[in-house]
Amino acid sequence: MAHDLRYASPCLTWQKDNFELIVRPTDVTAEQFLDKSPEAKNFNEAAYYRDCKALAEEVTGCKNVVPFMYQTRHQPYVVKDIFDNRVENGGLPAKYKRIGIVNIWRPFGANAEVMPLAMIKHSAIEDLTYESHMRRVYSRNDPMVGIKGFKGHETSAIHDPRYLYYYVSNQTPDEVLVFNSFDTDVKKASPHAGLWDNNTREDAPDRRSVEVRCWAFYVDQ
């Protein structure tokens, strides 16, 4: 059973549960997110990366945040190497005790009624490791490549009855889900996927979403 994050009590937070729903409007419009021109891409990356970097720093308390990927579901992946020389030569990551990837995900154009994003809460699993609870799934000739971009493999969670599942009903474009898609501390990572909801109305609009991923380099964790 999946629980609606809106009604969780007590409220789930990134600091305690590794994911959180936050109200954070953006000035970038749905039309701008969908515009494939170089000018629009550059504008979106500059404006939205700035917003996401500030939000990731605010939520995590980390002051070393580097946005590195911008993706919409109506465009191929847009991946950009923005590391400076300290990162390129390996100097920056070596200084930090923990490294993670913070995702900032929101729908745009309409509420996310179709396939809302769902999270796994696994804090009850003391023996959790990447090796015991995650696996790689390789595919060939994937017809979804044109929609979601090429990936060498998918990472899938291995079922555990101790998992708790959460999703957000009717997430609005003014709301973001902030979560960790990877962390060197496995207990900080949040497996996630779209959730099939049998109660979704037949005339619900297609889900369109935008996601930014940020490297986070932690000094004292």
Average pLDDT, the chain: 85
CA nearest neighbour of 210 among 38, 85, 49: 49
What pLDDT is stored for residue 126 in this prediction? 92
Q: Count CB atoms within 10 A of the CB of residue 187.
A: 13
What pLDDT is stored for residue 1 in this prediction? 86
The pLDDT tens digits of the residues spanning 192-205 come to: 998 888 888 888 88
What pLDDT is stored for residue 82 in this prediction? 35
What pLDDT is stored for residue 95 in this prediction? 75
The pLDDT tens digits of the residues spanning 139-181 come to: 777 666 655 555 666 788 999 999 999 999 999 999 999 999 9
The pLDDT tens digits of the residues spanning 81-90 come to: 333 433 444 4
H, E, C per residue of the chain: CEEEHHHCCCCCCHHHHCEEEEECCCCCCHHHHHCCCHHHHHHHHHHHHHHHHHHHHHHHCCCCEEEEEEEECCCCCEECCCCCHHHHCCCCHHHCCEEEEEEEEEECCCCECCCCEEEEECCCCCCCCHHHHEEEECCCCCCCHHHHCCCCCEEEECCCCCCEEEECCCECCCEEEEEEEEECCHHHCCCEEECCCCCCCCCCCCCCEEEEEEEEEECCC
The count of domains in the chain is 1
Residue type, 115: M
Residue 137 structural domain: 2-218
Peptide bond between residue 143 and the one before it cis (omega within 30 degrees of 0): no
What pLDDT is stored for residue 93 in this prediction? 64
CATH of the domain at 26: 2.60.120
What pLDDT is stored for residue 72 in this prediction? 83
Beta carbons within 8 Å of 202's beta carbon, 6+ residues apart: none
d(CA 17, CA 20): 8
CA nearest neighbour of 55 among 80, 87, 23: 23
